[in-house]
A and B are shown apart, each in its own frame.
Chain A
Amino acid sequence: MHRWKRTFGWWMVMALVATMLAACGGGGTGGGGGASSEPIKIGAIFDLTGATADVGTPYARGQIAFIDWKNEQGGINGRRLQLVSEDYAYQVPRAEELYTQFVTQDKVLVFSGWGTGDTEALRPKITEDKIPFISASYSATLANPAETPYNFLVAPTYSDQLIIAMKWAIDDWKAKGNSGMPKFAYLINDSPFGRSPLADGTAFATSQGIDTPLEVPSPRGATDLTPQLTQIRDYGANYIFLQNVSSPAALAIKNAKSLGYDVQFVCLNWCANEILIKQAGADAEGVVGVVPFNHEAEGGKIALDYARQKNIDYGGADSTFVQGWTALSILVAGIERTLADGKELTGENIKNTLETMGAIDTKGVTLPVQFSSTDHAGVKSTRMFRVENGRWVAITDFISAR
């Protein structure tokens, strides 16, 4: 044992020395995107092993697949796209390290983030470094260019999603022949992400004459949401809006069925996906959701066909795969237009192009995405979907929040 210990000690010393050398040598891979045949570099961080890895992984696969597909289509005027990406496991310090590494050493031009924590943390840096940034955090604070000139939102904000969902709910209530106004409740992730849209949602609801909705946080890691549901049931809610990820949402839906509580669940985008259907099983039938990225549209079909062709395993989460694919395609459209306009590829030029290029077509996955210099919320409307026979099916046309 002692000999093992001593040998181990020497191996570790050598490993540590190697770390220093490798870390010193490993930096500085390749120059910038200046020369005309150099690949165009895009930075991205993904959650593949952390708290949100269940949706982070298909999103990541979608983004990587898009870049591969685009390169197979010839890249941008013959120039290849190169995605520099790594897992950050939802740890903000690691996100910051990777961002700095990709920007300083790999010299990426644009960046694709993921969660609220890292998007918030990187906000001042991307403004300073002039790096156009998209992410999967649809918080309303990211839409205002006066505060965050380099953040671009490619889906309706959580606030908008909630208002759209409420509009649908009011129409649905009336269509069922009820008079008066329905009662609403929120069942949310117990975190700032969960609370993000509530203020705007409540303002909208009260303006329509609905009682202030009951706000019920669902504890992270709970194995049973029956206590929360009994409170909502006794409050008399007709519609429960879920701002949460799929696992707790599925649990809520199953518990409600167990409880015999007949209520309409409405999911915002992070639980309106195939993972919810997988986990809630038959109980998911009839659940309505906001699905900003329509995987059945032409653009979605291209993405899914490519995935099938290349045998990409994204765990069956079609809509999240298409979400990642489409989000990155919007950013790349900006790069393409900047080059087509003959401008030099810098972050600032790409930002200006995105703001002025007009509508970006996503082949039906979303309404054409349009940014402006006063508004970076590219999409303000979405369709409502419902789970029918184990699939998400569109049930309305595009509803807008404003």
Chain B
Amino acid sequence: MDRFIQLALSGIANGAIFALVALGFVLIYKSSDVINFAQGELLLIGAYLTYAMVEQFGLWWPAGVVLAVVLAAVAGVLIEQLVLRPMIGEPAISVIMVTIGLSSLLRAIVGAIWGVTPRPAPQFLPTDTVTILGANVGVDRIWAFGLAITLFVILTLFFRYSRDGIAMRAVADDQQAALSMGISVKKVWAVAWAIAAITAAVGGILLMSIFGGVSGTIARVGLIVFPVVILGGLDSIPGAIIGGLIIGLLQSFAGGYLPPEWGVGEVVPFIILLFILLVRPYGLFGQRIIERV
């Protein structure tokens, strides 16, 4: 029972991080129909910018974090303008490949500027543990959970009640109609990428705390995003949260209960993925796309 509670709590805590990473992805897809394979690299940029602001420039950490997040948003908008804008109307495979190319380019730029050796995490990040219900959970993961829920609430309210949020949903639904209603599609996309970069920056900062340093490993977490968003539905924000929590729990229980020699922890999310795709191709909460000839 002890093990069960520990695994459950760890699973939820990890799932919160996956959800955070997936949120940015869903945002971009929801508003511009772009599948962003470079989400992991956005995490990386957020983490390295924070490291640079706090450790290399020695700013007071709240100021450093805010500045890093703002710069990350600027980077997101720049990427959208330079790389994604010319891709309007191109087939899905081209857009996917462009983001793949982007991920390679971003990683090279980060490596060239900061080098590839891991740097120690900035000091302001939480490192202690708390005990809940007899199980130990790191404070950083509690922060991740809290931030994920907060962002979820903010974004849901944003999409439902604010003008810009509704505009984004309109653009995602039917670009032509939105344009004809006077919505600036360009502005919507820029905002979407900016918000995605911001959530990615926050995720990157938390990952710095978890890994104990800033290095290329942070970008690899980006691959986790796919099982999560497919499970939750590509264009659903609650789906990203629930998908993240489910994948986190599944990984935790698989790693904790299955005989370790099987070594299935790595491959469990992908098997789940295939299964879900065959049963519910649009994920748990995704919208069914109706195709017309």
Contacts and interface: CB of A to CB of B under 8 A. Distances in A.
A287 to B, nearest CB: 13
Contact of B213 (A215, A227, A279): A279
Given A246-B118, A278-B118, A228 B265 contact: yes
A163 B224 CA distance: 36
A49 B265 contact: no
B151 interface: no
Most B CB atoms within 10 A — which of A228, A247, A282? A247
A250 B266 contact: no
B221 A221 contact: yes
A258 interface: yes
B119 A278 contact: yes
A54 B216 contact: yes
Given A227-B251, A228-B260, A258 B120 contact: no
A14 to B, nearest CB: 22
Interface in B3-52: 3, 6-7, 10-11, 13-14, 17
Interface residues of A, number: 46
A257 B139 CA distance: 13
A258 B261 contact: no
A298 interface: no
Interface of A: 48-49, 53-54, 56-58, 190, 214-228, 230-231, 234, 246-247, 250-251, 254, 257-260, 275, 278-282, 313-317
B138 interface: yes
B265 A250 contact: no
A230 B11 CA distance: 13
Interface stretch (B108-116, B176-184, B278-286): B108-116
B94 interface: no
Nearest to A235: B260
Given A224-B10, A227-B7, A227-B254, A250 B138 contact: no
Contacts of B256: 226-228, 230-231
B3 A230 contact: yes
Given A222-B265, A313-B115, A316-B117, A216 B260 contact: yes
Interface string B261-278: 101011000000000000
16 contacts: A53-B111, A54-B118, A190-B265, A217-B263, A223-B207, A227-B7, A230-B3, A234-B3, A257-B129, A259-B6, A275-B118, A279-B213, A281-B120, A282-B127, A315-B116, A316-B117
A152 to B, nearest CB: 27
A279 B254 contact: no
Given A54-B117, A224-B13, A227-B253, 7 more contacts: A216-B260, A217-B265, A219-B266, A220-B266, A221-B266, A223-B207, A224-B14
Given A215-B260, A251-B212, A223 B221 contact: yes
A260 to B, nearest CB: 5
A216 B254 CA distance: 12
B215 interface: yes
Sorted nearest first, the 5 A-B pairs with minimum C-beta distance are: A315-B117, A227-B255, A227-B256, A279-B212, A219-B266
Nearest to A245: B217
A315 B212 contact: no
Q: Chain A interface mostly helix, strand, loop or mixed? A: helix
A230 B258 CA distance: 12
A217 B107 CA distance: 27
A259 B116 contact: no
A372 to B, nearest CB: 37
B136 interface: yes
B7 A226 contact: yes
Given A57-B115, A227-B251, A227-B255, A279 B10 contact: no
A219 B255 contact: yes
B199 interface: no
A247 B117 contact: no
A224 B252 contact: yes
Contacts of A217: 260-261, 263, 265-266
B50 to A, nearest CB: 16
A247 B118 contact: yes
Contacts of B13: 224
B211 A279 contact: yes
Interface in B185-228: 207, 210-213, 215-217, 220-221, 223-224
Contacts of B223: 221
Contacts of A281: 120-121, 127, 212
Contact of B136 (A218, A225, A259, A314): A259
Contacts of A228: 255-256, 260, 265
B79 interface: no
Contacts of A190: 263, 265-266
Contacts of A230: 3, 6-7, 256
Interface in B81-122: 107-108, 111, 115-121
B155 interface: no
Contacts of A282: 127
Contacts of A227: 7, 10-11, 251-256, 265
Contacts of B260: 214-217, 228, 231
A200 B219 CA distance: 35
Contacts of A49: 107-108, 111, 116
Contacts of B216: 53-54
B192 to A, nearest CB: 23
B252 A215 contact: no
B104 to A, nearest CB: 10
Contacts of B118: 54, 246-247, 275, 278-279, 315
B215 A54 contact: yes
Given A215-B260, A231-B260, A281-B212, A315 B115 contact: yes
B137 interface: yes
Nearest to A226: B10
A315 B116 CA distance: 8
Contact of A258 (B111, B138, B252, B253): B138
B218 to A, nearest CB: 10
Contacts of B121: 279, 281
B63 to A, nearest CB: 24
A397 B216 CA distance: 36
